[in-house]
Amino acid sequence: MLVNLTLSLPEDSPVFRKVRPDWAMPSVAGHIGTHLDTLLHRPIPIEWMDREALLVDARSFGDDIGEQAIRGLDIRPGDFVIFRTGQTERFDYGTDEYFRHYPQLDWALVEKLIGHKVSFIGTDAAGLRRGKADHEKVDLVCETNGAWVIENLANLGDRRLAGRSRFPVRLAWFAHGGMTGIPVKVVASVT
């Protein structure tokens, strides 16, 4: 059974109604919906299309998610660690509430994940860190260390994922000229 973890946007989404001139630029156009950030434009190994995902329910950790969220978890090199913060469940994507204030991972947690040599770090929020400078810095630090950030995941509360912390996922992405945000499709496979 497949579970789509990609945020699907209806054509009447507020995102498309807002006038945002910067979205017309190729470098930021891919930052809508579920996407991965690639500030360095480094190629992602094609073998990484198939990953083991580790789902971390971080809803109880509040605004700042620390290392305690992964304490005791078996994080393996190459894993795609996904944080369920509840942001896509609380607010509609594209609204000011969604983007204004969202749970973030603290730097110690990010460094610990990089130390585990994960391939992707995902969240159901607008980023791993809040504020433009920290948002870009964490994306850059992750990519420099071989881990890419995937933002705005959805359906992490799907009943078919209930009770599961580890499951296979397939990712599909594309890249073209100068984009720093690449749309990505993420699909979980559960039996």
92-141 residue pLDDT tens: 888 889 988 999 999 999 999 999 999 999 999 999 999 999 999 999 99
Q: What is the per-residue pLDDT for 28? A: 47
Q: What is the per-residue pLDDT for 25? A: 45
SS3 150: strand
62-73 residue pLDDT tens: 999 999 999 999
pTM of model > 0.85: yes
Selection from 132, 128, 79 nearest residue 105 by Cα: 128
Is 2-9+25-189 assigned to CATH 3.90.950.10? Answer: no
Q: What is the per-residue pLDDT for 26? A: 44
Distance CA 48, CA 98 (A): 29
